[in-house]
């Protein structure tokens, strides 16, 4: 099935001209302008193959035996999550528009974590359909909670206070609601908005804040890399200073990771 997904992605890359151009425009922002055209073609094809494999795996996830499914996912620095949750304040995982977050959320729920994620309110029907199948397949696990990008901060408060691993991306492309608080930082030579609300809530809940990236590997294996502890709950003397430094570090880490693995860009 993995090889089928890669073959299907290659066919899509050949015929879907508009999406190919859209990805290349996004790639131009983050890649080396002096790189040869062959690099861009190879990265674009890899993007199509990986995106198709992610979607295929998402659809067949509930058909995989539990032991096999659990063996397909690893987490680096997993002890950060466990120690953060042991304190009873939840953990906020700062993600970005890079990698298959929805796949990682299913794995985390399967491993027994209470998981919540922030999505667009107008998410596609395929995710609702797969969520329903997941609930029927694994009823003993708590349902993955879904918060919407235009919802109020009290929902984030509740999740962290209830001991959830809450993940969302702060590198937004537009401000959806007037109550969303943002700051502007420079990334890839452009000034971009970054959400500050999730970090403020995490600090006030005394939750650990870590930054993570979801990395796909061959044969439908995935790895969640917890790359940095952005905010330590017991070391916040000056909230504004801590938030500013955390966001700058977050943006630098995104630049480094996206330049190393540009095919995993998800925001086009």
pLDDT tens column, 63-85: 888 889 889 999 999 999 999 99
Q: Where are the alpha helices (DSSP H) in the chain?
A: 2-15, 17-30, 37-60, 66-71, 78-86, 101-110, 125-137, 153-161, 197-204, 239-260
Q: What is the mean pLDDT of residues 24-38?
A: 81
Angle between helices 2-15 and 37-60 (to 10 degrees): 130
Q: Which of 20-29, 164-173, 174-183, 187-196 shows the lowest per-residue confidence on average (mean pLDDT)? A: 174-183
CA distance 192 to 174: 9
Tell which residue, 2, 18, 27, 9, has the closest CA to residue 266.
27
CA distance 249 to 204: 20
Dig out the tokens for 146 from the structure. Answer: 């879904």
Q: Which of 136-140, 168-172, 221-225, 261-265 shows the lowest per-residue confidence on average (mean pLDDT)? A: 136-140
Per-residue confidence band for 117, with pLDDT thresholds at 50, 70 and 90: confident
Sign of the four-CA dihedral 173, 177, 178, 183: negative
Is the confidence at residue 197, as pLDDT, over 90?
A: no
pLDDT at 156: 84
Is the confidence at residue 263, as pLDDT, over 90?
A: yes
- Length of the chain (residues): 268
Per-residue confidence band for 126, with pLDDT thresholds at 50, 70 and 90: low
Which residue has 């003993």 as its token pair?
Answer: 140
- Give helix then strand counts, H and E, for the chain: 10, 9
Is the confidence at residue 11, as pLDDT, over 70?
A: yes
């Amino acid at each position: 099935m993995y090889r089928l997904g890669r073959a299907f992605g290659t066919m899509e890359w050949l015929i879907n001209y508009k999406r190919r151009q859209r990805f290349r425009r996004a790639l131009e922002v983050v890649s080396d302008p002096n790189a040869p055209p062959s690099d861009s073609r190879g990265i674009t094809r890899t993007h199509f193959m990986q995106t198709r494999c992610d979607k295929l795996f998402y659809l067949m996830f509930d058909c995989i035996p539990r032991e096999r499914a659990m063996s397909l996912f690893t987490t680096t620095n997993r002890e950060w999550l466990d120690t953060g949750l042991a304190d009873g304040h939840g953990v906020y995982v700062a993600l970005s528009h890079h990698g298959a977050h929805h796949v990682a959320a299913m794995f985390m729920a399967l491993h027994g974590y209470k998981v919540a994620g922030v999505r667009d309110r107008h998410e596609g029907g395929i995710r609702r359909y797969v969520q329903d199948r997941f609930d029927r397949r694994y009823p003993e696990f708590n349902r993955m909670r879904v918060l919407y990008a235009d919802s109020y901060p009290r929902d984030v408060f509740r999740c962290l206070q209830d001991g959830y691993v809450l993940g969302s991306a702060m590198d937004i492309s537009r401000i959806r609601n007037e109550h969303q608080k943002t700051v502007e930082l420079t990334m890839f030579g452009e000034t971009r908005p970054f959400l500050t609300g999730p970090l403020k809530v995490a600090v006030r809940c005394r939750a650990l804040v870590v930054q993570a990236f979801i990395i796909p590997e061959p044969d439908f294996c995935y790895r969640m890399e917890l790359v940095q502890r952005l905010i330590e709950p017991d070391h916040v003397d000056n909230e504004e200073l801590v938030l500013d430094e955390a966001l700058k570090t977050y943006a630098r880490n995104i630049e480094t990771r996206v330049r190393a693995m540009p095919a995993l860009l998800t925001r086009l």
